[in-house]
């Protein structure tokens, strides 16, 4: 598979803030949150644990302003990931 070919069956997760101050973990294609947390770190940890249970995955993390601040994926083992507690 070349670098430009998409990886089949990638499960995409996002970690985003809500207007309420909560942080939500969502799976692409679904409107409802999988889980909600009081802080971004807990939401990110949960999303990474959930993603790790899938064969091909990607997690996009957004900051409180809605800007993309990190992307983790199953294809990039060299990319540093936060420690999962």
pTM greater than the 0.75 cutoff: yes
Q: Let me know if residue 77 belongs to a domain.
A: no
Cα distances (angstroms) measured from residue 9 to each of 20, 30, 45, 74, 82: 32, 15, 22, 12, 24
Residue 4 placed within a domain: no
Q: What is the pLDDT along the chain (85 residues), one digit of tens a residue?
A: 445 555 568 999 999 999 999 999 999 999 999 999 999 999 999 999 999 899 899 999 999 999 999 999 988 754 455 665 5
- 46 found inside a domain: yes
Count: domains in the chain: 1
64 in a structural domain: yes
Note down the domain range covering 28: 11-68
Has residue 35 been placed in a domain?
yes
């Amino acid at each position: 598979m070349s670098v430009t070919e998409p990886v089949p069956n990638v499960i995409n997760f996002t970690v985003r803030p809500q207007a309420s101050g909560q942080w939500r973990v969502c799976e692409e294609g679904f409107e409802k949150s999988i889980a909600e947390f009081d802080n971004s770190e807990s939401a990110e940890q949960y999303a990474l644990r959930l993603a790790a249970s899938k064969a091909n995955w990607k997690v996009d993390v957004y900051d409180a302003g809605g800007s993309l601040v990190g992307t983790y994926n199953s294809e990039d083992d060299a990319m540093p990931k936060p420690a999962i507690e």
